[in-house]
């Protein structure tokens, strides 16, 4: 989720882990060095999100520091479970659905020896997080938000060969360009839209995805129908939730709401206004807030769809409130 609002709230209300990228030391043979990798990547327009670390296998010498820089609109965290469980991103409770503080907030210190978890907290585009590796070993890490997004830091003794920034940059560029060319482009080109169901005039794919490659678009983006026609959106991704939201002149709702606690930092609740369906989709007159709610199947559940019948001529913009720039237009004419 490119939830700028959430992280903005986090920066105001919480100490979300933000560290300035350390200065890269001159590459003297035995001096500890700082190397930088990407957490997340994206197409130039940002509509294709690559939910992966680039590169995701890094070899360091003991004492070296690795910096992860957020290079995507989608937010991520970096978490070293150190043999323990990976925390869930969201936690449903009796009073709402909350972002897990173990994901949202930094965990551990600046040095890491693999004996306890370490985590960055939520990072937004341009932010970075660094960890200095003080012991040899193989240390797996992951993003708690995106299933399958992970990597390994391999820490070797000072006398063994380790990565250089030049080698990392070459691997990063090759990885990102390969993903965009061989996965994202075919996904986009092959998605010509969805067949409408019976009684429906147009079908629209709400996002398409192949593993780490997440295309955050509606296909087709612009659809023309007649008054009284219905349009169905079909959730086409593998795990990314989307919404179909007509704002009806209102500002886009915040994705996460800080809920003050009697002690400690506020809890971040997912806004019920975006989680739940709202408005009369079976006969929408083109005004007022109309929302699908989260389009994302329960495990093993059916593919979600959302159908709106349009009763009033007009040109209606809609968006996914979770993904910046994911927009579409429905033109309704007599």
Residues that bind Cu ion (CB under 5 A): 242, 320, 322-323, 326
Q: Closest separation between CB of residue 32 and Cu ion, Å? A: 41
Based on CB atoms, which residue is closest to Cu ion, 200 or 326? Answer: 326
Based on CB atoms, which residue is closest to Cu ion, 41 or 255? Answer: 255
Q: Which residues of 252-274 are buried (b: 16+ CB within 10 A; e: fewer)?
A: ebbbbbbeeeeeebebbbbbebb
Question: Measured between alpha carbons, how far is residue 137 from residues 33, 110, 114, 149, 152 in Å?
Answer: 17, 17, 8, 20, 10
User: What's the rounded Cα separation, in Å, for the pair 183 and 11?
Assistant: 34
Q: Closest separation between CB of residue 122 and Cu ion, Å? A: 17
Q: Closest separation between CB of residue 326 and Cu ion, Å? A: 5
Nearest Cα neighbor of 231 from 334, 298, 328 is 328
Based on CB atoms, which residue is closest to Cu ion, 14 or 122? Answer: 122
Based on CB atoms, which residue is closest to Cu ion, 86 or 326? Answer: 326
Based on CB atoms, which residue is closest to Cu ion, 146 or 323? Answer: 323
| Degrees to nearest 5, angle at CA 69 with 206 and 3 | 35
User: What's the rounded Cα separation, in Å, for the pair 328 and 236?
Assistant: 16
Contacts of 195 (CB under 8 A, 6+ apart): 203
Q: Closest separation between CB of residue 60 and Cu ion, Å? A: 36
SS3 310: strand
Based on CB atoms, which residue is closest to Cu ion, 154 or 296? Answer: 296
- Residue 297 — φ and ψ, nearest 5°? -70, 150
Nearest Cα neighbor of 91 from 268, 255, 242 is 268
Q: Closest separation between CB of residue 285 and Cu ion, Å? A: 25
User: What's the rounded Cα separation, in Å, for the pair 292 and 246?
Assistant: 9
Based on CB atoms, which residue is closest to Cu ion, 42 or 163? Answer: 42
User: What's the rounded Cα separation, in Å, for the pair 280 and 288?
Assistant: 9
For residue 177, the 8-state DSSP code is H
| Degrees to nearest 5, angle at CA 275 with 272 and 281 | 110
Question: Measured between alpha carbons, how far is residue 239 from residues 77, 188, 270, 273 in Å?
Answer: 17, 18, 18, 21
Q: Closest separation between CB of residue 286 and Cu ion, Å? A: 22
- Residue 183 — φ and ψ, nearest 5°? -120, -50
Q: Closest separation between CB of residue 26 and Cu ion, Å? A: 44
Q: Closest separation between CB of residue 322 and Cu ion, Å? A: 4
Q: Closest separation between CB of residue 152 and Cu ion, Å? A: 30
Residue 309: strand pairing partners? 230
Based on CB atoms, which residue is closest to Cu ion, 205 or 326? Answer: 326
User: What's the rounded Cα separation, in Å, for the pair 189 and 211?
Assistant: 17
């Amino acid at each position: 989720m490119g939830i700028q609002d959430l992280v903005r709230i986090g920066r105001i209300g919480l100490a979300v882990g933000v560290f300035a990228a350390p200065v890269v030391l001159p590459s003297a043979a035995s001096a500890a060095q700082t190397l930088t990798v990407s957490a997340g990547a994206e197409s130039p327009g940002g509509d294709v999100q690559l939910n992966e670390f680039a590169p995701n296998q890094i070899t360091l010498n003991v004492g070296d520091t690795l910096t992860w820089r957020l290079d995507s609109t989608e937010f991520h965290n970096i978490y070293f479970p150190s043999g323990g469980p990976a925390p869930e991103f969201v936690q449903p409770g009796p009073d709402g659905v909350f972002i897990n503080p173990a994901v949202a907030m930094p965990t551990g210190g600046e040095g890491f020896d693999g004996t306890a978890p370490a985590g960055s907290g939520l990072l937004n585009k341009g932010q970075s997080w660094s960890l200095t590796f003080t012991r040899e070993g193989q240390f797996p890490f992951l993003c708690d938000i995106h299933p399958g997004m992970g990597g390994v830091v391999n820490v070797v003794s000072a006398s063994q060969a380790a990565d250089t920034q030049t080698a990392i940059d070459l691997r990063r560029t090759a990885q990102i360009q390969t993903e965009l060319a061989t996965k994202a482009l075919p996904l986009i080109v092959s998605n010509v839209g969805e067949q409408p169901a019976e009684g429906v005039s147009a079908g629209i794919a709400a996002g398409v995805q192949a593993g780490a490659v997440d295309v955050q678009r509606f296909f087709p983006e612009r659809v023309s129908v007649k008054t009284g026609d219905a349009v169905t959106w079909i959730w086409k991704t593998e795990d990314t939730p989307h919404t179909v939201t007509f704002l009806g002149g209102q500002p886009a709702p915040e994705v996460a709401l800080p809920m003050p606690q009697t002690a400690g930092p506020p809890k971040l609740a997912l806004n019920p206004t975006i989680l739940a369906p709202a408005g009369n989709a079976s006969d929408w007159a083109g005004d007022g807030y109309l929302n699908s709610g989260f389009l994302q199947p329960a495990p093993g559940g059916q593919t979600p769809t959302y159908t709106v019948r349009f009763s009033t001529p007009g040109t209606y913009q809609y968006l996914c409130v979770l993904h910046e720039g994911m927009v579409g237009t429905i033109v309704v004419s007599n």
